[in-house]
């Protein structure tokens, strides 16, 4: 371990196997908080590579609690967080739209780490029990087509890094890895990242982890979501090939909006924003979710273009289907509980 640490401290990249070796020690509780913090900080200063990301992600996923899902082409739309934008919970809201459109969504997420409100905080505010057993989560996912997977419960070994992550208060390689470690065997994925420089490499990693189709997106302003503030960049993984693309708001029927227009607040405020969107109240928040849900439908292969995905997303919200999906989720939780 000392040689591997010296390698990182010396600004050298680790191989995938070396990353796995360190991750094995971390997630078996064989490193101190100080060692973990030093390792994460050194990687951040050096710049994380795809090999390092893949090695740690594979180790975490191997130790995860598995969720049995009988549905086909399950997807997640979890982002890395860490963009420091203060935006509302875009991907959490979009998950209800995607599910209403017939996509099975295993929404992987956590409490806030470096933001005011994480996806887990929102689901709790909505009345969703995030502490259900794997068996009950499986039932919900199979019957509703949408379930929330609370990362600390899915990844019990993550307990060894939670204190350090909270104290560091800044995005690390674990933010980049979180969306890669969904315990459900996903076929497709929409993944937001605050690291535009890793779009292509992250898409390659998703392919290596078994995704048949995926989009990795970085919005204007460095957000880990598509935005209407300017150019959104994304990498598309399709049939093992990676292609790079951009979206301008005007190209898909939206006006440009400043990032300040989608600023959120704490969990209560962001939950109110989510409900206003699912009730089809016109706003920059709604438009932003329609764009991201449209990308989600495209990522899943439900539609052949992003524009078609936006049209479908708009129908899902306007028809009340997205709001109904929330009600279904709350109701079935009462039944299984």
- Residue 225 in marked binding region: yes
- Does residue 195 have a known ligand-binding role? no
Is 91 marked as a binding-site residue? yes
Q: Binding residue per annotation — 112?
A: yes
256 contacts: CB under 8 Å, gap ≥ 6: 228, 229, 230, 249, 250
CA distances from 150 to 95, 104, 326 (A): 15, 17, 17
Q: 325 CB contacts (<8 Å, ≥6 apart)?
A: 96, 99, 100, 144, 145, 146
| Residue (of 259, 308, 307, 304) closest to 285 by Cα position | 259
Is 224 annotated as ligand-binding? yes
The answer to whether the annotation marks 59 as part of a ligand binding site is no
Alpha-helix runs per DSSP H in the chain: 2-9, 16-26, 33-46, 50-62, 90-100, 119-125, 134-144, 151-154, 159-168, 173-177, 199-208, 267-278, 284-300, 306-318, 321-336
Q: Is 113 within any annotated ligand binding site?
A: yes
Residue 321 annotated as part of some ligand binding site: no
Any known ligand binding at 283? Answer: no
Is 82 a known ligand-binding residue? Answer: yes
How far is CA 71 from each of CA 95, 132, 144, 240, 295, rounded to the nearest angstrom?
16, 20, 11, 22, 21
Tell me whether residue 83 is annotated as binding.
yes
Please say whether the dihedral angle defined by the alpha carbons of residues 325, 83, 191 and 120, taken in this order, is positive or negative: negative
Q: Does the annotation place 299 within a ligand binding site?
A: no
SS3 category, 106: strand
Q: Is 119 annotated as a binding residue?
A: yes
Instruction: Give yes or no for a contact between 317 and 97, defined as CB atoms under 8 angstroms apart.
Output: yes
Please answer whether residues 212 and 188 qualify as being in contact, where contact means their C-beta atoms are separated by less than 8 angstroms: yes
Give me the DSSP letters along 191-259: EE-S-GGGHHHHHHHHHHTT-SEEEEEE-TTS-SS--SSSPEEEEEEETTEEEEEEE-GGGGT-----G
Establish whether 62 is an annotated binding residue. no
99 is in an annotated binding site: no
> Is 114 known as a binding-site position?
yes
Q: Is 108 annotated as a binding residue?
A: yes
Q: Is 117 annotated as a binding residue?
A: no
What's the chain's Rg over C-alpha atoms?
19
Binding site for anthranilate, by residue number, is: 79, 110, 165
Binding site for Mg(2+), by residue number, is: 91, 224-225
Binding site for 5-phospho-alpha-D-ribose 1-diphosphate, by residue number, is: 79, 82-83, 87, 89-92, 107-115, 119
Binding site, by residue number, is: 79, 82-83, 87, 89-92, 107-115, 119, 165, 224-225
């Amino acid at each position: 371990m000392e040689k591997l640490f010296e390698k990182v401290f010396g600004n050298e990249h680790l191989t995938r196997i070396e990353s796995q070796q360190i991750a094995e020690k971390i997630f078996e509780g064989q490193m101190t908080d100080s060692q973990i913090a030093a390792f994460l900080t050194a990687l951040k200063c050096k710049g994380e590579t795809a090999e390092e990301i893949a090695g740690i992600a594979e180790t975490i996923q191997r130790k995860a609690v598995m969720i049995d899902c009988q549905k086909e082409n399950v997807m997640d739309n979890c982002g890395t967080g860490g963009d420091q934008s203060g935006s509302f919970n875009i991907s959490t809201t979009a998950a209800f739209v995607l599910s209403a459109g017939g996509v099975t969504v295993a929404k992987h997420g956590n409490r806030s780490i470096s933001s005011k409100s994480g996806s887990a905080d929102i689901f709790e505010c909505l009345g969703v029990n995030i502490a259900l057993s794997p068996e009950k989560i499986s039932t919900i996912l199979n019957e509703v087509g949408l379930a929330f997977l609370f990362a600390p419960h899915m990844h019990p070994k993550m307990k060894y890094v939670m204190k350090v992550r909270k104290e560091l208060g800044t995005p690390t390689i674990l933010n980049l890895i979180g969306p890669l470690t969904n315990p459900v065997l996903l076929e497709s994925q929409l993944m937001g990242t605050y690291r535009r420089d890793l779009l292509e490499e992250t898409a390659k990693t998703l392919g290596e982890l078994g995704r048949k189709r995926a989009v990795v997106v970085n919005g204007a302003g460095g957000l880990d979501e598509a935005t209407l503030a300017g150019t959104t960049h994304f990498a598309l993984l399709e049939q093992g090939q990676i292609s790079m693309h951009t979206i301008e708001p005007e190209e898909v029927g939206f006006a440009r909006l400043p990032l300040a227009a989608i600023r959120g607040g704490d969990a209560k405020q962001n939950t109110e924003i989510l409900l206003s969107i699912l009730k089809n109240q016109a706003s920059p928040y709604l438009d932003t979710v329609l764009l991201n849900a449209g990308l989600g439908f495209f990522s899943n292969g439900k539609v052949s273009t992003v524009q078609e995905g936006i049209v479908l997303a708009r129908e899902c919200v306007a028809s009340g289907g997205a709001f109904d999906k929330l009600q279904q989720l709350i109701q079935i939780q009462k039944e299984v509980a």
